Structure 1
Amino acid sequence: MSDQPRSDELGSDQPGRGADARHGRDDDAPPAWLSDLPSTDERPRHSADPAETTQLPRYPSEAFRDEQRFSEGPPPAQWTDPTPPTGFPAVGQYSTPPGQQAGHQQGPPPGQPWPPAPSGAYPPGAVLPPPYRPDVPQTPYPDLATHALLKPVKPAPTSGWRRWLYVLSGKTINVGESPKDAHRRNLVAHVNHPLQGCYKIAVLSLKGGVGKTTITATLGATLASIRGDRVVAVDANPDRGTLSQKVALETPATVRDLLHDADNIERYSDVRRYTSQGPSRLEVLASESDPAVSEAFSSQDYARTLEVLERFYSLVLTDCGTGLMHSAMSAVLSSADTLIVVSSGSVDGARSASATLDWLDAHGHEDLVRNSVCVVNAVRPRSGKVDMQKVVDHFSRRCRAVRLVPFDPHLEEGAEISLDRLQPSTRDALIELAAVVADGFPSEFRPR
């Protein structure tokens, strides 16, 4: 007997031999499971147009065959085609909606929850739900404001025994400011609130000698010294006004000169040549004082003057004449944002101020009357036997606010006004008056 092995005893690793050969199976033939795949001719070809190209998913069997070839049998179970998740069509059944690019699937309708993620992968091109994020309370970043980084410091006292104690201790003992100083500081902050545009204030009275020009100058000086922006007072008195005498005269120019050169004024330095400025930074535009000039200051002149000034100044105060029927008064009232009606502490002064309000009501200026401020100015050391409380009650029912300005020897002089020479009570009264005026600023810029 021959020692050569028979062909049926050969191992199955020899091609064309053994059991596979007896059953007619060829190792070079593709496995039977590959016949289920679509042929090359049946697969869609890529178009030259990128918009018409549909990217098909790569079958897991193809990826696996590239890595390793099996001699027989189907591929392992983990490489079978994935089963489409519930609620999604099978691969090959997707249709591109009109107007939508291929390969992009829309999410659920608005307001509908995302479907739960299945165990298998989402179909290619489907919009995935947002990733899960646990509900973690948001912690804000640390505040970098000054009050959060630095310890609060008491304001230094400015008057009284608190000030002396603070100075004598070498500024080491600070018991804080007094309630009066705190109130004053709040008023200053109120007056110093930002203002956009130009705010126009008209100061008027039917009776002369009540301190109308003095109130115009002192109020303007207080506003200019606290706010720091440009404040100008215009003398619109047609009968030789004296407003320019309340500050040191720097130029002989008047409002007539300004009107003559109005077309050439383009910068603040141009208009500054026609005004005089006091220590408080208040500027005054003088009226015409030449007796040879007979031309009246008309409404057109005032409107043209205001058109120039409101381009360079934040506050414009107008010192009106004693009469309400002169030519410029109609333009003053039509352009004013608020009125200040000045009265003295006497009976005839209060009656004249009340008559001024009556005239304004009768000529269609009810809004100005309701928004006006009445100033009772003490032109003498004592008001005699007049009940000032009843005077205040009368005007408080007709005006927005009423303020009292006490008698001051420095104002009685009638010369240039210096705020440093005023008595403390007068300074406080003027600051309160300025705060009341600031309270009438437009609502979007009014202090809260």
Structure 2
Amino acid sequence: PARRVVRALRKGLSATAKDTETAVRLARAVQQPITTGRQIAVTSIRGGAGKSTVAALLSLTFAHYRADPVLAIEADPSLGTLPRLFGAGEVRWTFADLARILDPSMRVTDVTGYLLPFTGGGWLLPGSQGAVGAQLDLDAYRIVMTSLRRWFGTTVVDCETLPAEVARTAMTTTQARVLVAPATAAGVATTRTVLDWIGGLHRSMLPTTVVALAYTSPGMGVDPRKAAEYLGVGGAAVLPLPYDRALAEGGEIRTALLAQGTREAALALAAEAMD
């Protein structure tokens, strides 16, 4: 029995050391120096997949690990869920408001007056004030994304669901894209269709695409390994995001309340998108 205990302890220490090594490697990937602003689009094929939740998790992770300014942009203004996920208070200025006043002579301190701060030192640009049916103009999107690149090292864009025009533009103009797929048979099948479309645009886009396989409710039975084999076409990475009751509630994301597996999954997604 003593020998079995010793073997178990050694095995546990070995697993702990391996987990620590993995966490350090992922953290270094997230923190790697970048010479130009990194813009990452997050979208999905349908609503309810967890797209905004993934965008918020990525933004919080980047803000925690990186020293340069992080910006979260809500380019899906119809319901305005991103401010709620960040626990933001009153929304006074929106994407469209900032697009109208942006000027080359402005300084970063002028711009942040139109943004909302969130935990970790990041900034949020809301898409709307929660009005149903709000629309985002494609020209406004291009103005904001081009202008803000010089001030923010990392920008996470919460896009509309595909095939909306802004979402299609974001998918093809950002350095990386995260496609959120519900962990269901239908979700995996439709996401594969989107990946085939991305590959048809340019094969080089697939290696910089990450599929977040989102388990948004307990008991979702899709095998992550089989899903990864089916979705990992052309070099796209497929990473699972496990079910987390704290996220399922849909309120403000408090990282301290998230399960360890959720925090590890968010770090892995951020590392893959940044790398």
TM tier relative to shorter chain: 0.7 to 0.9
Q: Does 1:331 align with 2:169?
A: yes
Q: Is the 8 A contact 1:190 1:438 kept in 2?
A: yes
**CA–CA separation in structure 2 for the residues paired with 1:211 and 1:371:** 20
1:260 aligned residue: 100
Q: Distance in 1 between matches of 2:216 and 2:268?
A: 19
Match of 2:209 among 334, 347, 372: 372
Q: Alignment partner for residue 218 of structure 2, among 377, 381, 391?
A: 381
Closer, same or farther: CA 360–179 of 1 in aligned 2, 3 Å: closer
Structure 1 residue 350: deviation in Å?
Answer: 0.8
**TM-score, L = length of structure 1:** 0.54
**Cα deviation, residue 225, structure 1:** 0.3
Structure 2 residue aligned with 1:228, among 67, 72, 75?
Answer: 67
Conservation of the 8 A alpha-carbon contact between 1:234 and 1:319: yes
Q: Aligned in 2, Cα 1:405/1:334: closer, same or farther, shift over 3 Å? A: closer
How far apart are residue 205 of structure 1 and its match?
Answer: 1.0
Q: Which residue type is aligned with residue 70 of structure 2?
A: V
Given that 1:199 and 1:314 are in contact with CA atoms closer than 8 Å, whether structure 2 keeps it comes out as: yes
Q: 2:105 and 2:146 mapped to 1: Cα distance? A: 11
Q: Is the 8 A contact 1:248 1:276 kept in 2?
A: no
The question of 1:418 aligning with 2:254 is answered yes
Distance 2:165 2:260 in 1: 39
- The structure with the larger Rg is 1
Is the alpha carbon distance of 1:327 and 1:395 closer, same or farther for their aligned partners in structure 2, counting shifts above 3 Å? closer
Paired residue for 2:198, among 355, 360, 364?
Answer: 360
Deviation of the 1:291 alpha carbon: 4.1
1:208 maps to what in 2? 47
Q: Does 1:321 align with 2:160?
A: yes
Pick 1 or 2: higher relative contact order, CA cutoff 8 A, min separation 6: 2
Give the 5 Å matches for 1:139-158: none
How far does residue 190 in structure 1 lie from its aligned partner after superposition?
A: 2.4
- C-alpha displacement at 1:241, in angstroms? 3.5
Q: Is the 8 A contact 2:92 2:129 kept in 1?
A: no
Distance 2:23 2:37 in 1: 26
Report whether the alignment pairs 1:280 with 2:133: no
Q: Distance in 2 between matches of 1:264 and 1:240?
A: 30
Structure 2: distance between partners of 1:226 and 1:311 = 20
Aligned residue identity for 2:183? G
Give me the identity figure in percent: 27
Tell me the distance in 2 between the aligned counterparts of 1:410 and 1:281.
22
Following the alignment from structure 1 to structure 2, what is the Cα–Cα distance between the partners of residues 265 and 249? Answer: 28
Task: Find the aligned partners of 1:297 and 1:312 in 2 and give their Cα distance.
Answer: 22
- TM-superposed CA distance for 1:208, in Å, is 1.4
> How many Å separate the matches in 1 of 2:122 and 2:248?
20
Out of 198, 204, 211, the residue aligned to residue 37 of structure 2 is: 198
CA distance in 2, matches of 1:189, 1:315: 15
Alignment of 1:130-209 (within 5 A): 178-209=17-48
Distance in 1 (alpha carbons) for counterparts of 2:213 and 2:132:
36
Q: What is the identity, as a one-letter code, of the residue corresponding to 1:182?
A: E
Q: CA deviation at 1:323?
A: 2.8
Give the conservation status (yes or no) of the 8 Å contact 2:162–2:168: no
The residue number in structure 2 matching 1:217 is 56
Contact 1:280–1:419 (Cα < 8 Å) also in 2: no
| Structure 2 equivalent of residue 51 of structure 1 | none
Query: How many angstroms apart in 2 are the aligned matches of 1:318 and 1:406?
Result: 22
With over 3 angstroms needed to count, the CA separation of the structure-2 counterparts of 1:393 and 1:224, relative to structure 1, is same
Consecutive unaligned residues of structure 1, counting only runs of 5 or more, are 1-160, 162-176, 440-448
Which one has the bigger helix percentage? 2
Cα-to-partner distance string for 1:296-339 (whole Å, 9 max, x where unaligned): 42221111011221121001111111131x33234323421111
- What secondary structure, in the 3-state scheme, does the structure 2 residue paired with 1:204 have? strand
Q: Secondary structure at the match of 1:349?
A: helix
Contact 1:275 1:284 in 2 (8 A): yes
The structure where strand makes up a greater share of residues is 2
Instruction: For 1:233 and 1:303, locate their aligned partners in 2 and report how far apart those are by CA, in whole Å.
Output: 15
Q: What is the deviation of 1:265?
A: 6.2
